[in-house]
Amino acid sequence: MKIRRFIIIFAVIAGICTVPAACAGNLTVINKIYKIVCDIESGLDKPEDLKEKPEKKYIALTFDDGPHPKYTGEIVNILTEKNAPATFFIVGDRAELHPTLLRRIKKANCELGNHTYNHVDLSKISRNEFISQMEKCSQAIYNATGEYPKVYRPPFGRISKANEQYIDGKMKKILWTVDSHDWNTPDKNKIVRQVVSSAKNKAIILMHDFYSQSVEALPDIIDELKKQGYEFVTVSELIKLWELPERMEYFIN
């Protein structure tokens, strides 16, 4: 990537400098050219299906606390039918009971994340227990799918700074920007209204694959958001869309 960048920049500078008057005092122009090249490359280097399109809005559905023996499979069926990938934050001891469901999630082009082994509050446990909770959950996911998770979500959205440092870049912490409140209302219409009214570009929606009302609300949520122009992606895909191009200012005015 960097070799290609320097070839482009060198060619442009050489063109400018063939005219002596144009070459003098053109560091500002050259610097702007370099930034444009970076912007072009940031688009070229992304996979075609992850290039951000100006007319598109992106949103990530996430489901916590599963796998549930009934509801997780029903949710996967809906996501597959409607071509809406999502991210499932998995509880390790439940993964050990239902490894087939994890394989179904992966086969549906969805992502698996770590949600601890026993759904514990990561702000209230010791370092050793924290490491055990995270490692056992990741191992349960690996045992079922052959892949370790790259993202995690602390239960209740809580984790102490002391414990967070032990992740050490192995996984990215993912919280949420829209709470569906599917965990405290049985009314599927309220859940739909809550999500649709709060949705914004690049939002992360918190849901759970542990309640019947979540299953009932999901088709309407997907349909309404698609009508508004949203494209569904996993949280890792959303992170890639958020990344800024590498910028190094070689030319200083």
Residue 119: active-site member: no
CB atoms within 10 A of CB 142: 15
208 is catalytic: yes
Cβ pair 102, 67 in contact under 8 A: yes
Catalytic residue among 39, 64, 98, 168: 64
* Phi, psi (degrees; rounded to nearest 5) at 200: -140, 165
Please tell me what DSSP assigns to residue 203.
E
Q: Which residues of 83-116 are buried (b: 16+ CB within 10 A; e: fewer)?
A: ebbbbbbbbbebbbebeebbebbbebebbbbbbb
Cα 150 to Cα 41: distance, rounded to the nearest angstrom: 26
Question: Kind of pairing, strands 230-232 and 203-208?
Answer: unpaired
Q: Of these residues, 98, 115, 208, 209, which one is catalytic?
A: 208
List, in order, residues 6 or more apart from 93 with CB less than 8 Å away.
Answer: 117, 118, 140
Catalytic site positions: 64, 208
